[in-house]
Amino acid sequence: MKGLIFTEFLAMVEEVHSLDMVDEIIENCDLPSGGAYTTVGTYDHTEIVALVCELSAKSGVEVNDLLKAFGTYLFTSLSRTYPEFVSKADDPLSFLEEVETYIHIEVRKLYPEAELPTFYCSRPNSPNELHMIYESMRHMEDVCEGLIIGCMKHFDQKFNLTREKLPDGNELFILEKLG
Ligand code: HEM
């Protein structure tokens, strides 16, 4: 997993808690990297799981809530780092469809070693209802939910979001535009 994801996670911990909290969770986890991340480096994705578990133990906030909050934070960071992807879009559902067909493809050109999920998108019932099936060996469904929420907030769009685990282990997100 790219160092960018780690540096953004630690920036969120510093913003919401403190720099001491950042130091403490790094010290308490036995991290192969030692916790020294650079944005362009690549690290084992299990390190983020360890850091989140440690933050949960220290803060009393559930792991899945921390992961969702991180996803929302991450969307804001990504849209600042890569404004060209977000500025072209005028509709959040079309933007989300483009994550698979355009954005992550561009990301892979920048970072050939990126570990990206696969999305299967469709609008089976109405143009205002997007079905997104998330598939990833890393199972970052909660981060994904947070990213989707961050995206809808960015476009200032009211919405309903439901989640369902499919029999094959993938996750279906159903996103409905409101208003
Ligand atoms: C400006 C838009 C976006 C950019 C530039 C971007 C870029 C990236 C990058 C750099 C990674 C890390 C890859 C790695 O660490 O190896 C990543 C992972 C990920 N992205 Fe995106 N992304 C964007 C939007 C989104 C959105 C809107 C979603 C959700 C629908 C999403 C879902 C994910 C997930 C869930 C991962 C974690 C890896 C996994 O689940 O396997 N991304 N993305």
User: What confidence tier does 46 reach under pLDDT thresholds 50, 70, 90?
Assistant: very high
Residue 40 has pLDDT above 90, yes or no: no
Structure tokens belonging to residue 19: 């720099």
Centroid of ligand 1 to alpha carbon of 177 (angstroms) = 22
Structure tokens belonging to residue 157: 């769009």
Please state, in angstroms and rounded to a whole number, the distance separating the CA atoms of residues 135 and 126: 23
The string of pLDDT tens digits covering residues 96-143 is 999 999 999 999 999 999 999 999 999 999 999 999 999 999 999 999
Does residue 149 have its Cβ closer than 6 Å to ligand 1? no
The string of pLDDT tens digits covering residues 149-163 is 999 999 999 999 999
Res 89: pLDDT: 87
Does residue 67 have its Cβ closer than 6 Å to ligand 1? no
Q: At 25, is the secondary structure helix, strand, or coil?
A: helix
- At the topology level, CATH places domain 92-177 in H-NOX domain (3.90.1520)
